[in-house]
Amino acid sequence: MQKLLEPCIALAIKAGDAIMDIYQKEDIGAREKSDHTPVTEADLAANEVLMAGLKALAPDIPIMSEETPIPELSQREKWQRYWLLDPMDGTGEFILQSGDFAVNIALVENNQPVLGVIYWPSKQTTYYATKGHGAFKRSVDEQQQIFVAPPNSLTLAVSRRQKLEAVSQYLNSHFDTVALGSCSLKACLIAEGKADCFLRVGPTGEWDTGASQVIVEEAGGCITDAEFNPLTYNQREHTENPDFIVMGHPDWQWQKLITPHHRS
Binding-site residues for substrate: 66, 208
DSSP 215: H
Annotated binding site for Mg(2+): 66, 86, 89, 208
Rounded Cα–Cα distance for residues 188 and 246 (Å): 10
HEC profile of 71-88: CCHHHHCCCCEEEEEEEE
Q: CA 40 → CA 98, 161, 205, distances in Å?
A: 15, 19, 18
Buried-exposed string 199-234: b where 16+ CB fall within 10 A, e elsewhere: bbbeebbbbbbbbbbbbbbbbbbbbbbbeeeebebb
Q: Which residues line the annotated binding site? A: 66, 86, 89, 208
By 3-state DSSP, what share of the chain in percent is helix, strand and coil, each rounded to 5? 30, 30, 40
- Cβ atoms of residues 115 and 200 within 8 Å: no
Q: How far is CA 124 from CA 15, 63, 153, 179, in A?
A: 12, 25, 29, 19
